[in-house]
Structure 1
Amino acid sequence: MQLIELICLGVALGTDAFSVSVAVGMNRINWSLILKLSLVIAVFHVIMPLLGINLAQLLDHFFGHYYFEETIKNITSVIGAGLLIILGTIMIVESRQEREYGDFAFDLSLWGIIILAVSVSIDALSVGFSLGMLNVKILCSCLVLGSIAGLMVLFGLLLGKKIGLVLATKAQIIGGIVLIFLGLHFLFS
């Protein structure tokens, strides 16, 4: 796989992470959290393809054929879409609660960040299945995918932060709606 193909694959994988990060960035998050989210999501965009590659090689070793690709891709898509819908719903419900202006309406604790990272990088698991069958430099390819996703998340969070300053009180509801629509889009596409 050539570098330009890998970059295109990375951008395609990073688009859902970018969209979600715009929605999350609208919650007026600080620089520390922006860097942490970007890094964690980048790491998951490295781990997921590596898991997919290893799982594909394991299944290929045991079964000799590649029967399960479509089934696993469908399952991971449904899980990722479901997580986005749940996260969006939580954002909308929490936005309706009385809070101080500076409080987060979306839980971005360690577990919240991990759930978010898994939901936007789960599609990279299926890509890992495909990469496992191709003659690619596995670690290098996964590092490129993770770097691209991390940069896209960083830019998405910064864009969301700018939009959030303009929309202030409605940002959270809009972010939740965006997540729900993204989840529905991934579920039905």
Structure 2
Amino acid sequence: MPFATSLALAFSLSADAFAASLGKGASLHRPGLREAARIGAYFGAFELGAPLVGLAVGWGIGGHIEAVDHWIAFTLLLIVGARMAWLAWSAEESDAPRPARHGALALMATALATSIDATAVGVTLGFMNVHIPATLATIGAVTFAMAFTGVLIGRAAGPLLGRWAEFAGGIGLILIGIKVLVEHGVFG
């Protein structure tokens, strides 16, 4: 697999993380570079680790996990997205200041949900003649960069759009979950 193919794969896998990080950045009170890097690190690490799990699955139990991986991703994205959308409107603007950072559990749940598709990619990587460490490093680095950028864009959009930005981020996660189901042929 040439580097250009690995890079294209990395960008396609990081699209969900980028969308989620937009919402994460919009829901925080002026996240700085450090918080953007922290969020990027969570997303990058999970996106890098998911293909490793897929490799193990591919070598071990093969296609058994594929029967439910899309449901796992959908459920996690639905829960995280619904909570985010609900929290955007659940409190008065004045008595619920936006947090300075997200908790580790919330970041892990979102990063896990957006990296489930990379597990399936890992299964296929195990059967291809590719330089797996370079491909995984590319996936992790690109996802880190995309999530980092998404947080900073979300930071700019959050104050301009207020609750609508956080609400849209939550709805975006739910739509990503629905997209996962559509791609797996659940609706037809």
Matches within 5 A, 1:52-67: 52-59=54-61
Distance in 2, Cα, partners of 1:155 & 1:176? 18
Q: With structure 1 as the length reference, what TM-score do the two structures score? A: 0.86
1:98 to 2:91 alignment: yes
Deviation, structure 1 residue 164? 1.1
CA–CA distance in 1 between the matches of 2:16 and 2:166? 18
Q: In structure 1, what is the Cα distance between the partners aligned to 2:82 and 2:145?
A: 26
Matched residue of 1:6: which SS? helix
1:101 shift after superposition: 4.9
* CA deviation string 1:99-144 (max 9, x = no partner): 5353239x92111111111011111110000000112222221111
1:120 is aligned to 2:114 = yes
Identical-residue share of aligned pairs (%): 26
- The answer as to whether partners of 1:50 and 1:138 remain within 8 angstroms in 2 is no
How many Å separate the matches in 2 of 1:54 and 1:180?
Answer: 28
Give the equivalent residue in structure 1 for 2:186.
none
Q: Does 1:14 align with 2:7?
A: no
Q: Is the 8 A contact 2:26 2:157 kept in 1?
A: yes
Aligned length: 179
Question: Could you tell me which residue of structure 1 aligns to residue 161 of structure 2?
Answer: 167
1:33-89 superposed Cα distances (whole Å, 9 cap, x missing partner)? 221110111111111111111221234xxxxxx6x1xx5334212211221111111
Query: Helix, strand or coil for the counterpart of 1:148?
Result: helix
> In the alignment, is the contact (CA less than 8 A) between 2:89 and 2:163 conserved in 1?
no
Q: Which residue of 1 aligns with 2:135?
A: 141
Q: Is contact 2:50–2:118 with CA below 8 Å preserved after alignment? A: yes
Structure 1 gap segments, 5+ residues each = 60-65
Query: Which portions of structure 1, spanning 4 or more consecutive aligned residues, are displaced by more than 4 angstroms?
Result: none
**Residue 96 of structure 1: SS of its match in structure 2?**
helix
**Preserved contact between residue 18 and residue 156 of structure 1 (Cα < 8 Å):** yes
| TM-score computed with the length of structure 2 as normaliser | 0.86
Distance 2:161 2:67 in 1: 36
Which residue type is aligned with residue 162 of structure 2? A
Amino acid at match of 2:97: G
Tell me the secondary structure at the aligned position of residue 126 of structure 2: helix
